[in-house]
Structures are given as structure tokens and as C-alpha cells.
Amino acid sequence: MKSRKTVAQQKLVDQATDYSTWRAQSMVLDTLEGLDGWKNNPVSRNYQHKLIQQRLINLRAWRKAGDWPQLIFSLREGLHRNLGNLANPELYKHSHVGTKLLIDDYISEVTSLLNHLCDHDIPELPYAQKLMFFRHTGQSFGRSALMLSGGANMGMFHFGVVKALREQNLLPRVISGSSAGSVVAAFLGTHKDSELDALIRGEDMDLHVWRRLKPSEMLRQKSIMDIRELERFLRESLGETTFEEAFKRTKRIINITVSPVDKNQHSRLLNYLTTPHLLVWSAVLASCSVPGLFPPVKLMTKDRLGHEKPYMASIRWVDGAIESDLPAQRLGELYNVNHRIVSQTNPHVLPFISNQTRKEGWRLFLTDMVKGEVKYRSKQLMQLASYGIDRGIVKTLLEGAIAVVEQQYYGDVTIHPPVRLRDYQRVLGDLSKEEFQQWVRAGERATWPKIAMIRDQTIIGQTLEDCIIRLKKQRGRAMGASDAPAPVRRVA
């Protein structure tokens, strides 16, 4: 039974309007519930606390002694994302905010050491070796990506997730989006940070993108909504920007998934490496073309002279979420991504995602078990039905449904809105600015409890990337200085 103090404090947590307030009130709640003792005690069966403790002792001792060769050797050999099971999500389910202090201390020491190695002259680590150390260690450690699912209007939740991550400097450079998620990914890829705040507030956002076709048009186009209205919105919002141009503008690596209508083609991940000259608005249009809702579309690219033309003109494309809502494997191949932050808003997926953020006992376990069984049996029934059909629209629909069910819809960290019936009633149709802001706030609030885990799981990788960028700038400045003309000596 919770005390009156605890109940009152929980209300203060729920009423917080920003992360710093939420975190401060959550820490007070942890104290009231007696959870500080758990944080201070390094022991837990959920990770190898003795390994982490000894490693922290060694790093501090070598640093104090100035034994940089041993430190460099140890970091290069033992810096892994899940060392000693540090990334175990169970470590973040005991308290409202944060985890074991030992984990915080270890991560802080490692990032401090990396920054020191990067920014100071170490005789045992000349520039060329230093850059190689950070590159190789970064390659071994891997990268994080933010993956934004489909979800129609529910996808506006992604803007709140992005807002919360940006405010804490935790937004990964690698971002993928499918369907509604592709809209948010495209805005991130084509707008600089200074432009994003107004968009997320809804000030510069055109929310009128849905227009239902007349019955005669529906029959002719085999769709319900007018894709011309969506195309207008995307062209005006994103401009005639290619993936390569977007990357040069923001340095964010956006990836958009699309699926082909032709079964002899496979789903594609569009980005500045695979399709550098493809127009971003056209990729988003294809990724949002849900069969039945919008017709299939052609992708558009720029030719060598900058003129717009069809890309693979004979092929039409539809919603990327059908075959690859979260393209984890391809991101790993292209960008060395091994850590995935997923913002999941697909209406057909949300009922099957666990709501567990803290330990809640056997009831939640039974609920999750029932959800898993329903999903498994649904897949079996669809496979059984498809065996008796050789061709036609029913066969295509069943194959698409099976592809949807078979996908993995969660990541190392999964953020999602609560399941509410009224949200399902407003999946389609124009949103008011108030409704848009409600989704943004929902995204923020759902992200706040995950911030500590995201920071702990990504800060070392982010530090390695930042150090490489700083080292390259150092080399550029050094080369610029060496190229400068020698001062003219004045003859007396």
C-alpha cells in the first residue's frame, strides 16, 4: 500500500512539464520508496558487477599513475557496448530514474578518459595512432540509430520523442523512417536544428494533408485518399532536396524504407549512399502510400544536370512498413548500427507491445504471454489460408499480412504511446494544432523514463564519434597552418 506522501509525489511526477522537473521529482519519489539503497549497492544478478567494479578501479589507478600505454591498451581491448551485461534493460526497471551508481561511475570514467585522450597530447599516442585508435574502437563499439515506425496520425508521436532526445543531446545521427515515420525522418534530414523547434511546436507545420477522393475517383485510382494533396505537402515542406544534399546540409543520415509492387523486387532502404540523387519528398510519398489508402507511386530522382526524372521508371512503390518497418539488418550493414532506439506507433503493433517499464509481477507476465500467443496463432491461420490460394488479390493481401506479422517491431529501447481507443478513431484525417501538440507531449513523456538508459547505452559511442570529428578538425587546422606563407623578413 502506497503512503500518502508517495501518492502525492507521484502526482508531481505526472504533472511535470519538462524533463528536468520530471527527473527531480522522480528522484524524490525513488527516495520515498526506499530505492536509493538499491542504487548505492552495486550487487545485482542482472550484470557482472565485480567485473565492472574491478575495471573501474583499474582505470582510475592507471590514470592516477599516468600509465597511458596500459590505459590505451585496456580501452582498446575491453570497450564493448554490453560489457558485463551493462545494457540489460532489467537494470532500469527497479527505480523511476537511473540505475546502479557503479554503472554511472564506470560510464563517466570511460567518457572522461576518451575525451582526455582526444584533447591532450599523449607522447605514447601520436596523432596518426590516436585517430586509428578512435576509429577502430568506434568500429568495434558500434553505432546507435533512431528508428521511426509507421502509424498514420499516431506517427506524430515521433516528434515528441525527437524533441526529448534533442534536448538531452541524445539524438543519433542515423535515423530511419517508414510510412509516417518517414515524414519525421525527412524533416530531420532536411532541416537544421535552428529550424526544427518551430516545426515541432507546429508553427510551420501544414497539418492539412488528408483529402478523401470522390467515389468515382476511388474506383478509378483504387484508393481512398488523394495522393496529390500529400505530394503537395511534401514538396512544399521538404523542397527539391536529394538524399545527398540533405546529408550535406544537416549531417544527419536519414533512411527511408519503400516496398515494390512487383514481387520480383525487394524492399529498398533509400539514403545518401544507396540513392544519393533521389528526391527525399518522393521517397516519403512512396513510403506513405499504404495500399488501398493511396495508389502506388514512382520514385523521382535528379539527373546529372539537376532535372527531375523517374527512378527505375517501370517500377511503382508503396508503404515501406509492409516488408521492412524497422530495417535493422540493413542499417547494421551500411552504418555499423548495433543499437536501436525504436519509436513504435503502428496501430496493429501497439496492443502486442509490453507496457513494462518497471517490475510489475506475474500479471504482466501472463498478459504478455497471451499477447504473444494471439500473434503466433494469427500468423499460423494466415499461412494456412494462403496455401489454398494460388494467385490474385487475396493471395497478395495474405502474403502482405504475413510479412507484417513476421517482422520484429521493437529495439534495444522501445518507446511507444499508450493504447487508447479514441486514438484509433483518429488514425486518419487532418489533425488540429492542439491534437498535434498532444501527440508531441505524449512522445516526450513516454521518452523521459527511457532517457537514463538511452544515455548510458549511447554516450560512449557518441563520445567516440565526437572525438573522431574533433581530431579531423585538429588535422585540418594543422594542415592550414603548415600551408600558410612564411612571414616576410624585413631587411634592416
Closest by CA to 243, choosing from 288, 197, 300, is 300
Length reported for the chain: 492
Element (H, E) at 145: strand 143-148
Amino acid at 441: R
Confirm if 290 and 263 have CB atoms less than 8 A apart: no
Catalytic position from the list 319, 325, 412, 423: 319
Q: What 3-state class would DSSP assign to 80?
A: coil
What's the start-to-end Cα distance of the chain, in Å? 92
Residue 179 a catalytic site member: yes
Helices (H), 209-288: 215-221, 227-238, 243-250, 280-287
- In 105-142, DSSP assigns E strands to none
- What type of residue is 146? L
Classify strands 337-343 and 413-415 as parallel, antiparallel or unpaired: parallel
Query: If you ran DSSP here, which 8-state letter would residue 305 be given?
Result: T
**With contact defined as beta carbons under 8 Å apart, do 354 and 368 qualify?**
yes
In the block, residue with C-alpha cell 568500429: 139
Angle subtended at Cα 333 by Cα 331 and Cα 339, rounded to the nearest 5 degrees: 50
DSSP codes of every residue in 299-357 = EEEE-TTS-EEEESTT--EEETHHHHSS-HHHHHHHH-EEEEEEE---TTTGGGS---S
Cβ-Cβ contacts under 8 Å for 195 (sequence gap 6 or more): 204
Residues contacting residue 11 through CB under 8 Å, at least 6 positions apart = none
User: DSSP character for 94?
Assistant: S
Catalytic residue among 95, 149, 179, 182: 179
Which residues lie across from 31 on neighbouring strands?
none
Paired strand residues for 3: none
Query: For the chain, what is the total number of helices (H) and then of strands (E)?
Result: 21, 9
Catalytic residues: 179, 319
